[in-house]
Every structure is written in structure tokens, then in C-alpha cells.
Amino acid sequence: MIEAEGLTKIYGNQVVAIEDVTFRVERGQIVGFLGPNGAGKTTTMRILTGYMPPTRGRARIAGYDTVLQSLEARRHIGYLPETVPLYPEMSVRAYLNFMAEIRGLSNRKAAVERAMALTGLEDRADVLIGKLSKGYRQRVGLAQAILHNPDVLILDEPTIGLDPRQVREIRDLIQELGKTHTILLSTHILAEVQQICDRVLIIHRGRIRADMTLGEALRSRRPDRIFLRVEGGDRQVPEILSALPGVRRVERLEPGVYEIEVANNAREDPSPAIAEAVMRQGWRLLELRPVGLTLEDLFLQVTAQD
Amino acid sequence: MRNLWAIARRELGAYFVSPIAYLVGAAFLAMMGFFFYTDVIFTVLSRSEPTMRYIFGVMTTILLFVAPVLTMRLLAEEQRLGTLELLLTAPVRDWEVVLGKYLAALVFYLGLLIATGAYPLLLFWMGGNPDIGPILSGYLGMFLFGAALLSIGLFSSSLSQNQVVAAVVGIGLVILLAVASLPADGITNPTLQQILNHIDLRNHLMNFRRGLIDTSDVVYYLSVIAAFLFLTVQILNSRRWR
């Protein structure tokens, strides 16, 4: 659905915004597009939406080249830019109707009603956009993006500046839309990606540094901390477990609850050895799980290198 | 084409909810009314023929300030709000956006012009019996002159996100082009003198006021409009290579 091949954008002959960005997003995937500020996320999105052409490389949306078949490609895209593009003096309905018109939709009224229903805007239909709260404006922006039921949705930080309840609502909505649309979603909120995305794409200094499914992203890394709950053993537990290979330190958080720090040079995950040791001692194993295995670690690791 | 109408209609709607358009429109008509009144008094006292020549002259000057204010919002505000990105990523061509906005400004201006049509009607009603030819050709001239100013104003609006900057640049450009022939008399190079006389926006109004419709004047205004609309499209396009 989205194909980027060797996209490079150089501003004013010298500033390289993105370099050789290549990735594909298949139909029905929700992809989280991550990267520090200024890494090239917005530039990439603007190229995909046909706002500007790449200096080198090419991009295709639903099979249409974004430069050579720009208008056709645009018909298959819904785009929510970072600054939600709204006309404050128009009502929600008038605005969506206008967007439906310039998108050349044949059944405008139905499309507008459907988009408002999906984004929960029916009761605000005739309110002026300038009078809406930030959360509602965000929804209007999203309604505009899904108006023509596009194959591809490109969303630039859709939950920024919303309160926790609104964030939840917008996320649920994106997840719902993800069942039928292909979504590229840029965000700084890693928990959001972990919650709703199938895949992550991390861009840093204009280059793609990671492109993997969420499962891979989390599995690819060995846990550096392990959470353990046992019954029995008590004071003996740290002593015995810290002698195991791959364990650096065992911290007793409270009676029966421990956090185990994995040694940097450990060759494999010490969890099986820990479980075995607990059994051997005749203690009862209640819980054993990796902690700190988050996207945040991956993100920091990937973006720390140059 | 359909996109063009959609954009023009939305823009025209925006004119009617924006206080600035009402304010500028009201100020324009108030000033015109004042000058018309003084002109009528003068005509009656001096027992001269009633004409619209003086009114057209005043209107020419006022428009230099009014037209760029009418267009300042068109693209500047769209850039500030980020909605330009929306229009330029919708299946709409750049020239449709520019032409749609221009058309809206033109319709609003035409409305103002029609409102001043009350003055010649008053002249007739008062039994003045003015010559109708110069009035009609004068209006055509005012329409073309204003249309040229609006295209320059739209161009200025594409240069900045700030409406005030757009208006100031627009007024500057417009005045520059309206007084271009002033230094012509002191210039010895005949080619340069001719060029300055030709590009002067107000010079091409002379014939219209006398009741003459000269194709070269019409062509002049149409070329100014085409040139500035073209430049505006190029400015929007410049995002592609900047």
C-alpha cells in the first residue's frame, strides 16, 4: 500500500533531511513511525502525501507514483498534518462538506455523515470549529482524513496535546480504523505504539534505523532485569540466585519479591536457570518475568548511535 | 474546474463572516459617498456638467489601499493555519487554489463596485442627464484596474504567513506600479520612458474615463492579472524545490 524507495530530500542544496529512506507498509497494517524531533518524519510524510517531491527516489501509494500520478495517489490518501488544518470560521459540517467537495466525492452528504459518526462528531455538527475544544478539533481533523474512505491514512502526531481520556478515544478510533485502512502514524508516545501498532519504523538523522514488527522489536532484546516472586527461602534467595551465571545482583524489594539484574556479559537469558534453582531449593515459584523490556529501550538504543 | 468553484465559494463565504471585509467594504463605500457628495455640491454650485470622472479618480486612489487589504488574508492565513498543506495534498491543482481564491476576491470587489452604481443613478434621478458612455466605459476600466490590483494583492499574500505583512507588501507593490510613470518625464532614454509609461497602472485608465475602450488597455490589464496569478502559482510551487 505504501512503498518508499530510496527517498532522499535535500533542502536548499545542502540540508539533508532524509536519506535513502526505504520501507513498505502492507494493506491493513498500523505502523508506528518514530524518531526524535527533526529526524525527518514530517518530511517523509510530506513526500508520501505528494505535498512535495523527493530529491531522489520515489514513493507509491496504492500503486500510484506520488509525483508522476500525484492526483491519483492523493485520492487514496487521508492525511492529518501535525498542525490540524481547520478553518475556524466554518461549522464542522460545512468544513467537511467543503473537503468532500474538493475531494470530488459523489455522495457528499453520506460521506460527511459517516465520517462524523465514526469520529463521534454528530452532536457538534453545526458548531463553529473555532469554538471547539482541542480534542474535538483533532477529531474534525481525523474526520477530514477518513472522509473519502482512503486506503492509506497518514497521521502526524494525532494525539498530541489531548487529555488522557481524549487520547484513549482517538487511539481506539485509530485502532478501529486500522482494521480496514493502512495507517502510518507518527508519534512520540511509545506506549501508544506498543498499544496500537503492528510494526515500528524508527528514523534517526534522516535514515531508517529500525523496521520490525512489534513482537520482533521486543523479542530481539534480552531482558536486563527480571522480576521474581517466590514463597520460601527468604534471606537465602539473593545469596543463592546471585551465584547463578548471568546474574549480577539480586535485590530484595520486600519479603518474597525480588528484582534480578542481568549481567551485561550474560550469554543467554538467565530466567530458566533461575526457575530451576528455585525449584531445586524447594521454594514455590509464583512469578518470573522480564522487566524494562520496552520500546523505550529500543528507541533510546537506536537513536543513541550516529 | 469543480474544485475551483468549491474553493471560490468557500472563500466568498469566509469574506462574509470576516469583520475585516465588512469594515473595509464599509469604509470604502463611506469614503466614496463622501467624495460623491462633495462632487455633487461642487457640480451644482459651479453649474457644470455632472460626470463621474472625479469619482473614478478618487476611487482609483482609494483602491490602491483597499484592494491589498481585501486579498491579504487569502493565502497568508491559509499558510498560518496549515490549511494550505491540506489543499495542496487534496486532489486539487495549485492553479485551481489560486484561481478559486482570486475569483472570490473578484466577486467581492464586483459587489462593492455595483454598490457605487448608486451614484450615477442618483445623477440621473436628480435630472443631471450625464453622458452615459464614459460612465459605462469608466466602470469597465475600474473593474479591470481593481482586478489587476487584486492579483497583485493575492501574489503578496502568497509571500507571507502574516496578513499585515501581506497587506503592506501589496500596498507597496501596487503604489509602485501606479506611480511608475511619474519619473518618466525626466528620463531622456525614450525606450525607458515608454516602458515606464506603459507599465503604469493608472495610465491605462485615461481612455476608459474619456469613454474609449482601447483593446491595448484591456490587454494590458489582462496581462498584469495573468502575470501575477502565474507568479502566485509559482510561489506555491516553490515548496517543491526549496
CB–CB contact A79 B89 (8 Å)? yes
Confidence of residue A259 (pLDDT cuts 50, 70, 90): confident
Q: Looking at the complex, does the CB of residue B18 fall below 8 Å from at least one CB of chain A?
A: yes
Residue A220 reports pLDDT greater than 80: no
Query: What is the tens place of the pLDDT at every residue in B85-94?
Result: 899 889 999 9
The residue among B79, B237, B76, B80 whose CA lies nearest residue A52 is: B237
The pLDDT of residue A221 is above 90: no
Q: Is the pLDDT score of A298 beyond 80?
A: no
Residues of chain B with Cβ-Cβ distance to A104 below 8 Å are 2-3, 91
Q: Which of A29, A20, A42 is nearest to A2 (CA)?
A: A29
CATH of domain A225-302: 3.30.70.100
Reported as a pLDDT band with limits 50, 70 and 90, residue B242 is low
CB pairs under 8 A between A and B: 69
Indicate the pLDDT class of residue B130, thresholds 50, 70 and 90.
Answer: confident
The per-residue pLDDT of chain B, averaged, comes to 91
Residue of chain A whose alpha carbon sits nearest to that of B15: A89
Distance (Å) from the alpha carbon of B236 to chain A's nearest alpha carbon? 11
Say which range, A38-42, B160-164, B185-189, has the weakest mean pLDDT. B185-189
**pTM score:** 0.84
**Which alpha helices (H) appear in chain B, and where do they start and end?**
2-17, 19-46, 53-81, 83-89, 94-115, 118-125, 132-159, 163-178, 190-199, 206-210, 215-237
Q: Which residue of B has its CA nearest to A69?
A: B91
| Cα gap A59→A79, rounded to integer Å | 16
Give the three cell numbers for residue B242.
526549496
Scanning every residue of chain A, which has its alpha carbon at the shortest distance from the alpha carbon of B18? A89
Rounded Cα distance between A118 and A141, Å, is 12
Question: B52 to chain A, minimum CA–CA distance in Å?
Answer: 39
Of A11, A84, A98, the CB nearest to B242: A11
Q: Please name the residue that has the C-alpha cell 506603459.
A: B198
Angle between helices B163-178 and B132-159 (to 10 degrees): 130
Q: Is B194 on the interface with A (CB under 8 A)?
A: no
Q: How many CB atoms lie within 10 A of CB A77?
A: 26
Which residue of A lies nearest to B5 if distances are taken between CA atoms?
A: A102
Nearest to B169 by CA among B177, B159, B180: B159
Residue range B182-237, pLDDT digits in tens? 888 888 888 888 888 889 999 999 999 888 999 999 999 999 999 999 999 999 98
Domain ranges in chain A are 2-219, 225-302
Whether the Cβ atoms of residue B84 and residue B75 lie closer than 8 Å to each other? yes
Position A267 pLDDT exceeds 80: no
Give dist(CA A91, CA A124) in Å, integer. 9
Chain A residues with CB under 8 Å of B85 CB are 46, 51, 81, 85
pLDDT of A292 higher than 70: no
pLDDT tens digits, residue range B106-116? 999 999 999 99
Report, as an integer, the average pLDDT of A70-74.
91
- The full set of domain ranges for chain B reads 2-240
pLDDT at res. A260: 87
Q: How crowded is the C-beta side of B106, counted as CA atoms within 13 Å?
A: 16
Q: Which of B17, B87, B240 sits opposite A89 (nearest CB)?
A: B17
At A293, the pLDDT band (50, 70, 90 cuts) reads: low
Higher per-residue confidence, A263 vs A229: A229
What's the grid cell of residue A22?
526505504
Q: Residue B112 has what pLDDT?
A: 94
The answer to whether residues B163 and B71 touch, using CB atoms and an 8 Å cutoff, is no
Range name among A94-108, A216-230, A259-273 with the lowest pLDDT average:
A216-230
How confident is the model over B20-50, as pLDDT tens digits? 888 999 999 999 999 999 988 888 888 887 8
Residues of A in contact with B104 (CB under 8 A): none
* pLDDT given for residue B241 in this prediction: 67
Q: What is the pLDDT of residues B133-152, one digit of tens each?
A: 899 999 999 999 999 999 99
Bridge partners (DSSP) listed for residue A294: none
Interface check B85 vs A, CB under 8 A: yes
Distances (CA, A) of A35 to A50, A203, A205, A208, B215: 21, 5, 9, 9, 60
Amino acid identity of residue A78, one-letter, is G
Is the Cβ of A12 closer than 8 Å to some Cβ of chain B? yes
**Total residue count of chain B as it appears in this document:** 242
Tell me which residue has cell 527468604.
Answer: A234
- The answer to whether the beta carbons of residues A59 and A4 sit under 8 Å apart is yes
**Which of A236-250, A262-276, B67-81, B189-203 is the most confident on average?**
B67-81
Q: What is the mean pLDDT of residues A198-216?
A: 88
Q: Do B82 and A81 touch (CB under 8 A)?
A: yes
Q: Which residue has the cell 484591456?
A: B218
Q: Domain A2-219: give its CATH architecture.
A: 3-Layer(aba) Sandwich (3.40)
Work out the mean pLDDT of chain A and round it to a whole number. 88
Q: How far apart are CA A175 and CA B184, in angstroms?
A: 69
- C-alpha–C-alpha distance, residues B55 and B68, integer Å: 20
CB atoms under 10 Å from CB of B215, counted, come to: 7
Best residue of A102, A142, A184 to probe chain B, by most B CBs closer than 10 Å: A102
Cβ–Cβ under 8 Å, residues A222 and A287: no
Please name which of B124, B150, B147, B146 lies closest in space to residue B135, comparing C-alpha atoms. Answer: B124
Which positions ≥6 away from A55 have C-beta within 8 Å? A8, A9, A10
CB nearest A102 (choices: B90, B240, B242): B90
Over pLDDT 70: what percentage of chain A?
97
Contacts of B7 in chain A (CB under 8 A): 102
Which candidate, A118, A71, A74, A76, places its Cα nearest to that of A96? A118
C-alpha–C-alpha distance, residues A27 and A305, integer Å: 32
